[in-house]
Amino acid sequence: MTKDQAIQLLFSKIEAGRALNMAKSFILWDATTTGVPVRSLPARGAASGWISGEIFRRFVAPDTLEAIETLEAIGGGLSEYESAMVRVLGREYRKLRAVPPDEFQAFKALITQSEPVWEAARAKRDFDIMVPYYDKIFEYQRRLCDWYGYEEHPYDALLDDFEQGASVKMLDSFFSALRDRIVPLLKDIISAGKQPREITGMFDIGKQRELMPWLCDFVGYDRSRGKVAEVEHPFCSTFSRHDVRITTKYHEDNLLAAVYSTIHEAGHALYEQNMEEDMEPYRLAHAASMGLHESQSRLFENMICRSRGFTALLLDKLQEKFGDYFSSWDEDMLFRAVNIVRPSLIRIEADELTYCLHIIVRYELEKGLMSGETRASMLPGLWAEKYEELIGVRPGNLAEGVLQDVHWNRGLVGYFPSYAVGTAYGAQLVHAMKKTVDVDAAVKKGDLSPVAGWMKEKVHRHGARLLPGDLIKHATGEAFDPSYYVDYLSEKFTELYL
Ligand code: ZN
């Protein structure tokens, strides 16, 4: 196979993969955002499953490997995009090939069976019925570690799968830095006993909906190249860089939920919309990693939009829409209300300060499960102990404890840490951006274009051209350093509460 043949072959595989993935995304979009007949599920599931099989069959084929190996042998003779494509595809191919197909099929069947059992276990508050499923799921994950390979800790194989470059060594030091500063800070905040005024009551959903275009435009999400829909669990879906859709959910009794989830998803969408078009044929018009994707959503949500500057703008909008309620509020009150610290049991409802502590609990448990020290049957007890130790609360039942997340019963082990790593990337990026961009002034003016412009230049447009660690270095001039995140949290919440 010549170099040109190899490149053309990979281009055609990438194009087919893109088309098939788009079809799958349309099926999912349709199912989650429009009212579809209940009985459409089996046919839809079958079609989606067939497409997944087709994606796998076309990609994991001997000619793909031959093309990858041909290009790997050329090495330095490749263009920058070509060599990044070979790196991305080579990694993906070898991971997919590492898993024996019959084991993979059996695992998929196990996951499908475990979903209703997990639902029942939550409803009946009965962990025992879930234990045999978790045992098998974690056993498979341990085998996955062996198939993928690792150098120091088995869990490294899974961590690196979600966030290339992440390892137990890196995360142990990251999480211990967080824990050492945030746990005592949280205790001080609780004992200081300051209680900001909360936003309570019912807020008309029609009026909440009217805020959405302003929020999207503020972040810089181009609505002419996307769409906003309402769903049960918000997400962002990319069909092409000119069609990046987001979703949101309005709660009549929780005004801030849709505001911040819209900003979060718009932050994800901005990344997708800003990638260089010419990277698409090379399969590089993708986020550099899950953590970097999350860095974009979380930095807009927290570092930009839970700031004094933003809450001043938000107050104007809220007074316009809900004048009766907000007439007695001032900017400082709203700033404090969007930054309430409250130790809680549910990760997805956690405040900005305690969020990372919820991730530490899951990280430590996953680490024990992958090393074999922890068995599934030990999870409820360990969960409660760690929540008590880190956050100062104990779950009253399994639904608000160990059974709250869908990740484990879907076989996603190693995924949680990327939320925290992503947030730490975000803090480091914002810190670096502040050297040349007056972020506070931009927010205050209501014109985030210097912020979005910096992110586009330094992060978004590069897609998967660089590895996550290299991208952070390229954007900030330094290697990943979690101290920016720890410092940011500690300064912000000390000023607010102590
Ligand atoms: Zn997200």
Ligand 1 centre to CA of 269 (Å) is 10
Query: Which is nearest to 271 in space by CA: 438, 69, 429?
Result: 429
Query: pTM for the full model?
Result: 0.95
DSSP per-residue letters across 264-312:
HHHHHHHHHHTS-GGGGGGT-SS-S-HHHHHHHHHIIIIIITTSHHHHH
> Among candidates 361, 435, 420, 444, which has minimal Cα distance to 395?
361
264 C-alpha vs ligand 1 centroid, how far in Å? 6
- In DSSP terms, 27 is beta-bridged to none
Query: Which pair of tokens denotes residue 48?
Result: 């989606």
Query: What pLDDT, on the 0 to 100 scale, is given for residue 42?
Result: 87
SS3 200: coil
Going from the Cα of 347 to the center of ligand 1, the distance in angstroms, rounded, reads: 13
Instruction: Spell out, as residue ranges, where the chain has pLDDT lower than 70.
Output: none
Cβ count within 10 A of residue 257: 16
Amino acid letter, 473? K
Q: What is the pLDDT of residue 126?
A: 95
Place of tokens 């350093």: 481
Classify strands 243-248 and 226-230 as parallel, antiparallel or unpaired: parallel
At which residue do the structure tokens 């050297």 appear?
A: 435
- For residues 375-394, one letter each, b for 16 or more C-beta atoms within 10 angstroms of the residue's C-beta and e for the rest, the string is ebeebbebbbebbeebbeee
Rounded-to-integer distance, Cα 298 and Cα 215, Å: 15
**What's the pLDDT at 75?**
85
CA of 267 to the centre of ligand 1 (A): 8
Distance CA 407, CA 415 (A): 8
pLDDT of amino acid 34? 80
Residues present in the chain in total: 498
Provide the pLDDT for residue 40: 87
Distance 469 CA to ligand 1 centre (A): 20
pLDDT at 38 (0 to 100): 82
For residue 123, the CA-to-ligand 1 centroid distance in Å is: 27
* pLDDT tens-place string over residues 74-117: 988 999 999 999 999 999 999 999 999 999 999 999 999 999 99
Give the Cα separation of 265 and 268 in Å (integer).
5
Catalytic machinery residues: 265
Distance from the alpha carbon of residue 24 to the mean position of ligand 1, in angstroms: 20
Across 44-193, the runs of DSSP E, i.e. the strands, are none
User: Model confidence over 351-406: pLDDT tens digits?
Assistant: 999 999 999 999 999 999 999 999 999 999 999 999 999 999 999 999 999 999 99
CA of 301 to the centre of ligand 1 (A): 10
Separation of CA 130 and ligand 1 centre (Å): 27
Q: How far is the CA of 260 from the centre of ligand 1 (A)?
A: 11
268 CA distance to ligand 1 middle (Å)? 7
Please report the sign of the dihedral spanned by the C-alpha atoms of residue 257, residue 260, residue 263, residue 265.
Answer: negative
